[in-house]
Structures are given as C-alpha cells and as structure tokens.
Structure 1
Amino acid sequence: MIRKLLASLVAPVLAVSCVVTAAPAFAQDNTVNVLYAGSLVNLMERSIGPAFEKATGQQFRGYAAGSNKIANEIKGKLRRGDVFISASPKVNASLMGQANGDHVTWYVNFAESPLMIGYNPQSKFASQFKSKRWDQVLQEPGIRIGRTDPKLDPKGAFTVEMVTKAADLYHQPDLVEKTLGAPENPDQVLPEETLVGRLQSGQLDAGFFYSTETSDLKIPAIHPAPELQAKASYTLTILNDAPNRTGAVSFVDFLLSEQGRALLRQHGVDVVKPTVTGSVQAIPPSVQAVIDAANQ
C-alpha cells in the first residue's frame, strides 16, 4: 500500500517536471534575441518587435545598451544573441576576425541618424534654446546635461567630437571643459537606454540624441551647424554563434524588407540603400535577396 501511494504521488510530479522543462525549450526555439543600440529602444520595442511578431509568429526579445558595451559583453562571453544592431561600423569591426573572437563575418549598413541637441520644453532653459546658440545655452550655470559614455557608446564619442569641433568653429578653446567637463563626467554620463526617459521626466534640461529619438518622441531639438555634423550609421548582422540562426535570418529579412524600412522611416530614421561589409558569401540567401530588392 505504501509503495502504491508513493508511486501515485511521484507520477504527477514527474509529469509536471516534464511540462516545465519542455516549455522553455520551445520558447527558446521560437524567440529571436536582438541586441541593439540603446538609441533604438522606442523603435524596436514599440514598432519593429511587435510588427515582426505579428508577421512571423515568432517572439522578439530585445536587449538595449551602448553599442560598444554590447560588443564588449559579446567578446567577454557575458551575453549571447542572434542579431546585433550597432550605431557604428567600427563596433562590428571590433568583433571580426580570429583575433577578435570571430563573432561577426559580415554586416549591413541600413540606416543613418544625425546627432542633435535635444531639450526638455518644460526646462527653465528651454526659451534660451530659441534665442541663443546651443553651445551658449549649455554653458549656463545650473543646466543639467545628459550624454553617454564615449568608451561604451558611439553617441558619446560623437558628442565629444562635436563639441570639440564647435570649440574651433566658435573660437572657444575651453568649450569642452565648460559644457562637458571630463570625458567620463559622472554628473552627465548615463546609460544610453535611460537618457530619453531622464530628459522627459525633467531630470535633465538637455542632452545629445540622434534624430530618430528626437523625431520619434517629439523632443524639441537643435540642428548643429553642417560643419559639426556627426551621425549614427546603423548596421546589423547575424552573430556567428547565434542560438536561433533561423529566427535571426527571419528578423533580418523583415527589418530590411519594405515593411521594415517603412517602419524605420516612420520613426525618423534616414533609410539608406543597404551596403555589405565583410564576406558576402556568408550572407544567407534570403537576406541577400532582400538586400538586392532594396537596392533596385
């Protein structure tokens, strides 16, 4: 009797255990993990991701951070993904070749977004952005400026580069010190994926953003002089150790399709004709077909 009673209790437990272990395996096979530049949070989570899921029945799972930060995590084997979208071709180059871990064999440039100075319309400095040059406003006492880490994010490097050029253009040799302070100034440097939220909540008066962020979220922004222009050059690739390569191909096909490109335009991204760097032979046939169609 005791053995029968124990058997009757163990059987349901084993059955439940089987169900629990089987579910994650199925979910993993149906999930595409996309590691992407933090400036694309709104676009990816509210537009591209849901549209991809609706079109394919697969699950989108995104991870946003500075492009260099993601690349460092990939090289350090701290994070795996299927697709990697960066804001600078240089980041992909750091993942190519045997010396760099051979994580990337090819990548596609598919969009661009210029760097802007965005500001909170409720800030006490907002009116000054309409009457003064942006570099003058950023030197006002008490103004709270947000930017990203130049070591972890191309946008942060572009910011320092832009202000350095502005110092020459406007004949202000101490402009970088007065507006940015040290390159990694802890009072300004923030994770890319949190920068917009901090500006919108009033924690920041102004910051450096790509046009896709300011346009998409209706953030008032200043266009710097043409001589100072810096921009993100968005790239995407399928990582060589992608756990879900089939899903990765499906996602890239969707993003480069006419529907995907239309969504990019809706969110203020400057869509360009896709150009390939690296081994063309390694590109999946369906991805190559979509690239060819976009270039016609």
Structure 2
Amino acid sequence: MIRKVMVSVAVLASALLGHAAVADENAVNVLYAGSLVNLMERSVGPAFEKETGLHFQGYAAGSNKIANEIKGKLRRGDVFISASPKVNTGLMGAANGDHVAWYVAFAESPLMIGYNPRSKFAADFKTKRWDKVLQEPGIRIGRTDPKLDPKGAFTVEMVIKAADLYHQPDLVEKTLGAAENPDQVLPEETLVGRLQSGQLDAGFFYSTETSDLKIPSIRPAPELQAKASYTLTILDDAPNSPGATRFVDFLLSAKGRELLKEHGVDVIKPAITGNAQAMPPSLQAVIDATQ
C-alpha cells in the first residue's frame, strides 16, 4: 500500500514538474524598474506577446529592491531591467552571487517634478520656481525610497544640489524632511497612481512617466540634471533563457526602440558592460544593427 502511494506521489510530482516546465517555456518573467509600469504592461508586453506568441509576466518595483530580492534568493526572473547601472554591479561577481555577467545600457529618462493639475498648488507651479512651491504649507509631496530605488536617491541628490544652487541651506529639510520621511516615501509602482488620484499634489518622476501619462511637469535647471539610465540583462540563473533572449532581442529591435520613444524614453546607442562573450549571439547582432 505504501509503495503504491509513493509511486502515485512520484507520478503526480513528475506531471506537475512537466507542466511547470512547459509553462516556463511559454512565459518570460521580466523584473523591471517601477517607472516603466505603463510602458511594459500596456505597450512592450502586449507587443512582445503578439510578435512571439510567448507570455509576458512582469514584476515592477524599485531597482534596488528587485536586486536585493534576487540576491537574497527571494525572487527569480529571466530578464532584469534596472534604472541604474550601479544596481547591476551589485549583482556581478562571485561575492555578489554571480547573478549578472553583463548588461546593456539602452535608454535614459530625466528626473522631473510632476504635479496634479487639479491640485490647489497647480497654478503656483506655472508662476513660481519649483523649489518655492514645494515649501508651501500643506503641499503633499511623494517620492521613492532612496535605499530601494535609484529615483529616490536621485531626488535627494537633486534637492541637495538645488539647496546650494539657490543658496537655501535648509531646502532639503523644508521640502523632503528626513531621507526616509514616511509622509513622502512610497513604493515606486504606486507613486503615479497616488498623484493621479489626488492623494499627492506633486512628486518626483522620470520623464517617461510624465510624458506617457500626460502629467504636467517641471524640468529642473541643467545644473541639477539627474536621470535614469535604463539597463537590461538576462539573469544567469534565468529559468527560461531562450524566452529571455527573444524578449531582449525584441526590446532592442527597431520596433522595440520605437515603442520606447513613443512612451517618452530617450533611446541611446546600446553600451555593453561586463562579459560580452556571455551574451546571446542574436542580441549582439541586434545591437550591431543599431550602431
């Protein structure tokens, strides 16, 4: 009896594993920076599915948060798209788990101050410098965690620079408060929704978010310029390497790059960092075609 039960369990386990393997072959799990939610879920993902017949599975969060989850073996994926090259560096080499052997920088997006057009402070953004408006009593500001998301770190850095540029030593304290101020710091994937719903008056966003979603925005002075530098890689332990290759090939193809431009992303000449020999040959061919 026990033998029959064990055989039955083994057969069931084998069937389940076989089903999972088939499912993996038909799905590509893409872990990406939360600022790309609209682009990935409404544009790139559906277009990729239509072109390849594969299923796009996306997970959005702050780039550092995703990297920490990968490093801590809390999350697996096929493709990782970060908003900062530094995040990839933390996943390279034996000391960091050998999760990433190479990455490609392929797009950029400047940091902006976006505001809700229905906010009582909206008119002020049209007539006053942005730092003055952010100091007004009662204004609700949103930003991401500087420890979990490059955009959050860029925000703090930019306001620090503005304090010096505009000779306002207390600007950071008056606009941001503590680096991890709980009244302002929110998950990247929810920040846009909070602004659009009226829970926030203003926030710090990349141009791809403000342009894509028609959010009124202010571009800081050139001296304060900060921007996302989007990179992509296929994770070394990707469950579906062939599917991952087809996704990155698609994203860097002429069609993929056109979708990026349509969503307000500044497409740049792809630049490879790391072991280029470990890249799929097809991806190298796609990159060569963009040169």
Q: Are residue 131 (structure 1) and residue 127 (structure 2) matched?
A: yes
User: How many Å separate the matches in 1 of 2:122 and 2:50?
Assistant: 40
CA distance in 1, matches of 2:274, 2:232: 12
Structure 2 residue aligned with 1:112, among 105, 108, 114? 108
SS at match of 1:271: strand
Q: Hey, what's the Cα distance between the residues in 2 that align with 1:20 and 1:119? A: 49
Equivalent in 229, 235, 243 of residue 239 of structure 1:
235
Q: 1:101 aligns with which of 97, 100, 108?
A: 97
Residue 261 of structure 2 corresponds to 265
Residues 107-141 of structure 1, C-alpha deviations (whole Å, 9 max, x = no match): 00000000000000000000000010000000001
Query: Hey, what does 2:144 align to over in structure 1?
Result: 148
- Cα distance between partner residues in 1 of 2:35 and 2:231: 13
Which blocks of at least 5 consecutive residues in structure 1 are unaligned?
Answer: 1-14
CA distance, structure 2, for counterparts of residue 143 and residue 191 of structure 1: 19
* Equivalent residues in 2 for 1:25-64, closer than 5 Å: 25-64=21-60
Structure 1 residue 28 displacement after superposition: 1.9
Query: How far did residue 23 of structure 1 move?
Result: 4.3
Corresponding letter in the other structure for 1:291:
I
Instruction: After TM superposition, give the deviation of residue 18 of structure 1 in Å.
Output: 8.8
Aligned AA (1:74): I
Distance 1:277 1:33 in 2: 22
Matched to 1:273, the amino acid is: K
Cα deviation digits, residues 203-244 of structure 1 (max 9, x gap): 000000000000000000001000000000000000000000
- Other structure's SS at 2:73 match: coil
Of 192, 197, 203, which aligns to 1:201? 197
Match of 2:171 in 1: 175
Offset of residue 27 of structure 1: 1.8
State the 1:24 CA deviation.
4.0
Deviations 1:97-116 (A, max 9, x none): 11111100000000000000
- Tell me which amino acid in the other structure corresponds to 1:80: R
> Partners of 1:19 and 1:96 in 2: how far apart?
36
**2: distance between equivalents of 1:164 and 1:22?**
54
Q: Spell out, residue by residue over 1:140-176, the C-alpha distance to the aligned partner (whole angstroms, 9 max, x if none).
A: 0110000000000000000000000000000000000
* CA apart distance, 1:177: 0.2
Match of 2:8 in 1: none
Amino acid across the alignment from 1:269: V
- Aligned: 1:256 with 2:252: yes
Question: Which residue, 205, 217, 220 being the options, matches 1:221?
Answer: 217
Work out which of the residue numbers 63, 67, 73 in structure 1 matches 2:69: 73
Amino acid at match of 1:76: G
The number of equivalent residue pairs is 282
| Pairing of 1:17-32 with structure 2 (within 5 A) | 23-32=19-28
Percent of aligned pairs with the same residue? 81
Q: What is aligned with 1:165?
A: 161
**C-alpha separation between the residues in 2 aligned to 1:19 and 1:120?**
52
> What TM-score does the superposition give when structure 2 sets the normalisation length?
0.94
**Alpha-carbon distance between aligned partners in 2 of 1:83 and 1:294, rounded to the nearest angstrom:** 21
3-state DSSP of counterpart to 1:96: coil
Q: Which runs of 4+ in 1 moved over 3 A?
A: 15-25
2:187 — aligned with what?
191
Q: For the structure 1 residues 251 and 181, does the alpha-carbon distance in structure 2 shift closer, same or farther, using more than 3 Å as the test? A: same
| TM-score normalised by length of structure 1 | 0.93
Partner SS state of residue 232, structure 2:
strand
Q: Select the structure of larger CA radius of gyration.
A: 1
User: CA–CA distance in 2 between the matches of 1:224 and 1:111?
Assistant: 20
Q: Which amino acid in the other structure matches residue 111 of structure 1?
A: A
